[in-house]
Amino acid sequence: MKINDLTFTIIGAAMKVHRTLGPGLLESAYRICLAYELQKLGLKVEQEKPIPVVYEGVKLECGLRADLLVAGLVIVECKAKEKLHPVDVAQVMSHLRLLNLQVGLLINFHEIVLKDGIQRVANNYQEEDV
């Protein structure tokens, strides 16, 4: 499966969750339901994936966590807020860089129309079979 196909599948699952729950819940509810939907599709999903920081050659646990890591390839950050902020994109980019991954999805479930709340974030992305 290619990363583009994987992100398409993740977005479809997020849309199903949003259609079912609607906006207005806590971020954690959307994260748990999205993880459930993706697991039903046979994808490996890690919730609250720890992200270590390597400082002066030492791997340090600083409390950073990615909401979801799907198939070991795509980070998904779930938000439930009025509007995404550039710092949200920076957070995803930092997580991608620290985990040496290429693609992340930032999904704001608070939007009335979910497609308005989805941003794809890329870190030196090159499409290839995975």
The token pair at 7 is 């992100």
- Exposed/middle/buried for residue 35 (C-beta within 10 Å: 0-12, 13-18, 19+): buried
Q: pLDDT tens digits, residue range 50-62?
A: 999 988 988 888 8
User: Sign (positive/negative) of CA torsion 101, 63, 69, 91?
Assistant: negative
CA–CA gap between residue 65 and residue 127 (Å, rounded): 25
Model confidence, pTM: 0.91
**80-130: per-residue pLDDT in tens?**
999 999 999 999 999 999 999 999 999 999 999 999 999 999 998 666 654
What is the bridge-based pairing of β-strands 103-108 and 53-55?
unpaired
Q: How many CA atoms lie within 13 A of 12 on its CB side?
A: 9
d(CA 84, CA 18): 17
List of residues 6+ apart from 70 with CB closer than 8 A: 6, 10, 38, 43, 44, 45, 76
Q: 59 forms bridges with which residues in the sheet?
A: 54
